[in-house]
Structure 1
């Protein structure tokens, strides 16, 4: 009788432990989704600012059509990117295009001193900082989830219930890890 009670008690404890791990995995998966949503919101803010920035530059830099088209194409590609890896590649391309746009702006003193352009630069710098904070939060959530998925014994529960590791959202090169310079003083 006591052996049976011990076995039943151990089975109940094991069941509660498995349920606890499962719930932690669900919580972390939800946290990762919520963190990605935060990145998505910040990226949308940036995408909404870019057309206004392009219109301001067009007024001064009419001979820079290729650069302006490059930014427009990169923005469109970034908006339609699906998944972390595709979004990461599209954002890298958009950052390069924006850097090229600001390099063009250097050649136009009137543009560099335009109040609208200066305000948009400040707004973009602020959004870039928000994106960086959102990226850090997302990557921290992914790290926590991936550790739990890889750790024993939680990996047994994760594998049995089909939990998958999430990808980090990172920039590829060291030079692109910094916020694009948007100050023309």
Structure 2
């Protein structure tokens, strides 16, 4: 084999190796961004989960006849915490993300019912601690929405990069698989178009 051919082959191997390293580093960086974005969601979910028992406890004194509503919120919170813990342990598992979305929908629906019941009790509605907690939860819901959007943006960027040729060759070879997005945790009725009638 002539020396020129050997140098050409070595140059091709070196270019392929450098390209492979660059692809790997970019995919690893994108996956780290996805993990960071999930961490932001996790922080906000934990914040909401910590606020809910306080909200239920304040409401308990006023809503003695609504014990089933309070119990439903507490039960839904426990299920959502368990689903969130499962996602934390298996952050890239689509089934865990789907279970979290379902648990969050149930929790959101029960919180919505609690807020609706709260409207029927003027003394509870006027309670300063209840107002503060309700505002904190509403603020946290907004933060969760923004964090979910940031997470989904990072997942989309990762999936786009890992599925485009020629990077997808290295992505599959190195185990960078498609990641699922986090679906909206909004209750189905909240997403429905409101009906206006005159």
Question: What TM-score, normalized to structure 1?
Answer: 0.91
1:90 maps to which residue?
103
Gaps of 5+ in 1: 179-185
Give the secondary structure class of the aligned counterpart of 1:143: helix
2:38 maps to which residue?
36
1:158 maps to which residue?
171
Cα contact 1:85–1:167 (8 A) shared by 2: no
Give deviations 1:128-152, integer Å, cap 9, x for gaps: 1111111111111100111111111
2:196 maps to which residue?
none
Distance in 2 separating the partners of 1:47 and 1:174: 21
1:68 maps to which residue?
70
Give the secondary structure class of the aligned counterpart of 2:65: coil
Count residues with an aligned counterpart.
178
Give deviations 1:44-63, integer Å, cap 9, x for gaps: 00000001100111111110
Distance in 1 separating the partners of 2:106 and 2:167: 38
2:130 maps to which residue?
117
Distance in 2 separating the partners of 1:112 and 1:26: 49
Distance in 1 separating the partners of 2:191 and 2:169: 36
1:106 maps to which residue?
119
Distance in 1 separating the partners of 2:167 and 2:24: 8
1:8 maps to which residue?
10
Distance in 2 separating the partners of 1:130 and 1:151: 32
Q: 1:79 aligns with which of 81, 84, 94?
A: 81
2:146 maps to which residue?
133
Q: 2:57 aligns with which of 51, 55, 58?
A: 55
Distance in 2 separating the partners of 1:150 and 1:92: 31
Cα contact 1:171–1:177 (8 A) shared by 2: no
RMSD, aligned CA: 1.6
Question: What TM-score, normalized to structure 2?
Answer: 0.85
2:91 maps to which residue?
none
How much has 1:174 moved relative to structure 2? 5.5
Cα contact 1:95–1:176 (8 A) shared by 2: no
